[in-house]
Amino acid sequence: MKSSVIVFPGSNCDRDVAVALEKFQIKNQMVWHNESNLPKTDLVVLPGGFSYGDYLRTGCIASKSRIINDIIKHAKKGGLILGICNGFQILIETGLLPGVLLRNKRLRFISKNVFLKVMNINNKFCLKYKKKYFIELPIAHNEGNYFANSELLQNLEDKNLIVFKYCDAKGNINKTSNPNGSSNNIAGMINSEKNILGMMPHPERMIDPLLSGEDGSLMFESLLKS
Amino acid sequence: MKISTIVTLKKDVLDPQGKVVSQTLKNMGYENVVNVRQGKYFEIELNETDKEKAKQIAEEISKKLLANIVIEDYKISLK
């Protein structure tokens, strides 16, 4: 398994995710946004951060970077792409995932641990969550309020493309367990070909029991297995 | 030629910033304020003298970059 973490000016979770990938024996390479070609890779990771200072719209300027053309080619060939936080915002701006991420409902930057329900494990990112459906991961964002029209939401629900939903400690998915106002409590989603996952929570920050927990490890273990 | 584009959230998309501004204005005593929508304003200088062409370019720029047409509307004016 080989991965490429794309580094944009303003990315700040690129090294964290590289540490996580390497911990799980995924051979990683950092790729600068201005490169025109991806190295040979199975997985592309768009990391969290504030690419281009969130100018214009979050992820917008990064979605027009030179490397993006090759990432789109990679996606069309069925290559895996994981977008975390700002990476999710970039995937949305690129059009690789539908919908839009608005500012959090209460206009506050939210940085805390949240509980999530894993809604779909039948994809290469989540196989290992079979043994654990309720997980805890940190979120840290200002624009994570997923918005989609009712038609798209219905389509996502029907096709089972919502991978993570915000819930409370008991697994209840409702308004009070929704930190940012996302439609249907959506925290992460996948495309219908199941090779592109976008999520607001940070799995790379939960890979060590000494530091935080291991609920993120399962994602990297799933990737290694695939 | 100078072009300006105004980008605002679509009517049915919640604009929390606009709401806060509106509420603040009311708190300041402007009770006749009914609603505020916040947006972005761009001034673009184009090296183009043909009005039609300029307009076409402005349309393209707005659609491709300045606005996310899923949630935003844009209005172009030529000077």
From A27's Cα to the closest Cα of chain B, the distance in A is 35
pLDDT of residue A9: 96
Q: Is A202 a catalytic residue?
A: yes
Subunit contact A100:B68, Cβ cutoff 8 A = yes
Angle at A200 between CA A195 and CA A205, to 5 degrees: 95
How many residues are listed for chain A in this entry?
226
Find the closest chain B residue to A92 by CA distance. Answer: B68
Stretch A102-122: mean pLDDT: 95
| Token pair 């204005």: residue | B25
The predicted model gives A93-99 an average pLDDT of 96
Is A204 one of the annotated active-site residues of the chain? Answer: yes
Q: What is the pLDDT of residues B34-58, one digit of tens each?
A: 999 999 999 999 999 999 999 999 9
Which residues of chain A from 63 to 82 reach within 8 Å of chain B, CB to CB?
64
Q: How many structural domains is chain B composed of?
A: 1
Q: Is A167 a catalytic residue?
A: no
CB environment B41-76: b (16+ within 10 A), e (fewer):
ebebebeeeeeeebbebbeebbeebbbbebbbbbeb
The two tokens of residue A80 are 């895996």
pLDDT band at A211 (very low <50, low <70, confident <90, very high): confident
Residue A88 has pLDDT above 90, yes or no: yes
* Domain of residue A148, residue span: 2-225
Domain that holds residue B44: 2-78
For the stretch A1-30, pLDDT in tens is 999 999 999 999 999 999 999 999 999 999
**CB B42 within 8 Å of CB B4:** yes
The CATH number for B13's domain is 3.30.1280.10
In this prediction, residue A132 carries a pLDDT of 84
CATH number at residue A13: 3.40.50.880
Number of compact structural domains in chain A: 1
Q: Which residue of A has its CA nearest to B65?
A: A60
Window B:56-75, CB contacts with A under 8 Å: 65-66, 68, 70-71
pLDDT band at B15 (very low <50, low <70, confident <90, very high): confident
Q: What average pLDDT does this structure show over A134-163?
A: 96
Cα A172 to chain center, whole Å?
22
Give the residue carrying structure tokens 């996302």: A182
CB spacing of B71 vs A56 below 8 angstroms: no
Q: How would residue A105 be classed by pLDDT, with cut points 50, 70 and 90?
A: very high
Q: How far is B56 from chain A (nearest CA, A)?
A: 20
Taking the C-alpha atoms of residue A167 and residue A174, their distance in angstroms, rounded to an integer, is: 7
